[in-house]
Structure 1
Amino acid sequence: MIQETFRVAINEKLMVRVTFISKNKGILTKFCIPFDIGPSRRFKDKSQRYHFFAIDNKLGNHNLSILPNQILNIEVTTSTFNPANYISWKPCWFIKRNWGIYS
């Protein structure tokens, strides 16, 4: 269910509210752009993670990679996003999408 909701948000370019368990801060909810599901280059374990771009962080916008067992809920919002405003690299996504040159 969570993975399908995540895929819908990616395909429709809709922002999400993700509620998850942070190891350091307990249960958090963040307003995010859904990016992808797959291993992270930042973590050595290469486990599958949900990748977001958090845009409501008090410390500024940042990437957020969450293990599936940490996610409690993903809620698709009606707020859209333009990938051009957030992607500044040549993406190589695990989930296929139709984001033009950002696919």
Structure 2
Amino acid sequence: MYQKFVQAINQKKLVLLKFDSYEKGVISRTCVPFDFGPSRKYKDGQDRYHFYDLDSPSSNHNLSILPSQIIDIKILDKSFEPKNYVTWNPIRWFLKRDWGAYS
């Protein structure tokens, strides 16, 4: 999963994420892959996959998923532009990438 995730970041490709949400069971979402590492939201120090959920029924939002929750990551043919999704100053990504000003 990790290699697919890194590949999607480097190629700026959307992914189809299938994961166990624990609360709602298995969910599939089209997402922008953001990063892999500790979360600012969850203070437990565990590494998580960070995505931006594009098709949640409630609203688009960030997802931070533990590796044990990931069932599958499929790289889609559709590309994304980081400038459309990175709305903060990306001071430090955990995974290196070449996203220009958004790296």
TM bucket (normalised to shorter chain) is over 0.9
Q: Match of 1:9, SS?
A: helix
User: Does 2:62 align with 1:100?
Assistant: no
Structure 2 letter corresponding to 1:98: D
SS at match of 2:71: strand
Paired letter, 2:6: R
Distance 1:60 1:72 in 2: 22
RMSD: 0.5
Runs of 4+ in 1 over 3 A off after TM superposition: none
Residues matched between the structures, number? 102
Aligned-residue sequence identity (percent) comes to 49
- Name structure 2 gaps, 5 residues minimum: none
CA distance in 1, matches of 2:43, 2:97: 26
Q: Which runs of 5+ in 1 are unaligned?
A: none
Q: TM-score, normalised by structure 2?
A: 0.97
- AA aligned opposite 1:93: W
Give the secondary structure class of the aligned counterpart of 1:5.
helix
